[in-house]
Structure 1
């Protein structure tokens, strides 16, 4: 008999865990969200509708996937854990618009023929409950891919979401903030308490929404070189940008040139990196690398 309770219903989640003898793998950062209203709200803020094709990362037993399938045209769910791939065949059997891939999202070849249709999708979005330990690599991998998605809606550790949305001059502002802001607009939609997960994590989570900008915030010749430059500037937060970059450009001649380049950029070398906007970083980078 079909069970009409949401997969994310706490009792149903526990029953599924017992039925399949699921032991959560800490190494994969696995936690089940057991509050249907939060999952429904997450789908709502992601603006998924009947025209949407959704890429979901880490569906687990299908709690979020179920809500996505009820709204979207199609859901492509990528699950690294074979145990859950087998379970999803049962829990998601009522939905014919879901395709599950047993793949590591970081190793997916988006240029493969089976994914070529994604380039023409009217509304491509990414929605995921991300493992805490690998949140940043997954997001950066998606941003750097050639996928034409409009937005990413990610449930993640609150602290990481705060870094991705941080304002210049705040404690949370760092090289990750700049990497995200380069081509995305970021905002925290709502906070998710740790009490609604099984097992309960140590910290609260947040739903972060990243919207792709029509054009990058600054013009850069090589984004990878620029990001390495910004990361170098944040090597030691308590040091000035001068001290961090002086160690990055190690030779004596480079240090002399660097002093002149700060003067040309009209940026005080005694400032700390968290006080520089992405526009100031881009300006300094262009002068140093010209």
Structure 2
């Protein structure tokens, strides 16, 4: 297929949007990436090969999905917008290694889907252009279900990427930095100019790559409690750690009292 016919070009994207009378839904954080070079670079960053199983979140009209399908063994894409399903079935009908699941990724049983679609022993790579409004919840959910995930390569708002990769004693450093970096190695692979999208968002984006840390010998702990503790430490940045921890303790005691009353 020539570059001109690929979904991720501005010409093809506009033709698809016009054909189906589509427009970007702000409520779903939709912006359509129209830069083939960026799409291919995302696939390269994720190191996708024909042996790979890939999970995509929010395929839109299929621009990134197409590039993934050209390189991966199989792609399973979660799309929440019902209106995009017939578009995806049309634009991607030439590819037999794609499955579209019409479901919110945050409500999906991801480990079960991975088992059913790829087999019980297969590791997957997550690749996605994430909606800005729900980036953090999706990242946290992936961390909670990471036992079958080999790597995560996702596009997000540049500011969020800076928070994920921030170093101690910097302005961007916070609870998200601690939670992410305690569990994973994370890096900004490259930046994406806002002009690469239709419509153009107000801010630039970044591609981040998340991979497993080397084994440290540390004992497992309750991830949910750890995340809650870290968020409590950073709850009020102008307060001292001592005062923030007092708040964490008070909330913990309230939860214990409530659970006992039931």
Tell me whether the two structures share a fold, i.e. TM-score over 0.5: yes
Deviation at 1:8, TM superposition (A): 0.9
Task: Give the drift of 1:3.
Answer: 9.5
C-alpha distance in structure 2 between counterparts of 1:91 and 1:142, whole Å: 28
User: Counterparts of 1:76 and 1:43 in 2: how far apart (Å)?
Assistant: 15
Is the aligned partner of 1:228 residue 2:228? yes
Q: Indicate the residue corresponding to 1:140 in structure 2.
A: 140
Deviation by residue 1:215-250 (Cα, 9 ceiling, x = unmatched): 369545322222211111101112211121123334
Q: Which residue of 2 aligns with 1:92?
A: 92
Q: Alignment partner of 2:6: what SS?
A: coil
Instruction: Look up the match of 1:51.
Output: 51
Residues 1:62 and 2:62 are matched in the alignment: yes
- Larger-Rg structure: 1
Give the alignment's TM-score, normalised by structure 2. Answer: 0.89
C-alpha distance in 1 between matches for 2:4 and 2:205: 28
Worse-matched range after superposition: 187-196 or 144-153: 144-153
Aligned match of 1:203:
203
Count of matched residue positions in the alignment of Structure 1 and Structure 2: 250
Structure 2: tracts of 5 or more residues without a match: 254-262
Q: CA RMSD in A?
A: 2.1
For 1:2-25, what per-residue CA distance to the aligned partner results, in whole angstroms no more than 9, with x for missing partners? 996110110110110010000211
Q: CA–CA distance in 2 between the matches of 1:217 and 1:223?
A: 16
Change (3 A) 1:8 1:171: same
Write the deviation string for residues 7-63 of structure 1: whole angstroms up to 9, x where unpaired.
011011011001000021100000000000000001001000011110000000000
Measured against aligned partners, the alpha-carbon deviations of 1:77-101 in whole angstroms (never above 9, x if no partner) come to 1100111111011100111111111
- For 2:185, the equivalent position in structure 1 comes to 185
- Give the SS at the match of 1:182: helix
CA positional deviation for 1:111: 4.4
Contact 1:79 1:100 in 2 (8 A): yes
Partner of 2:10: 10
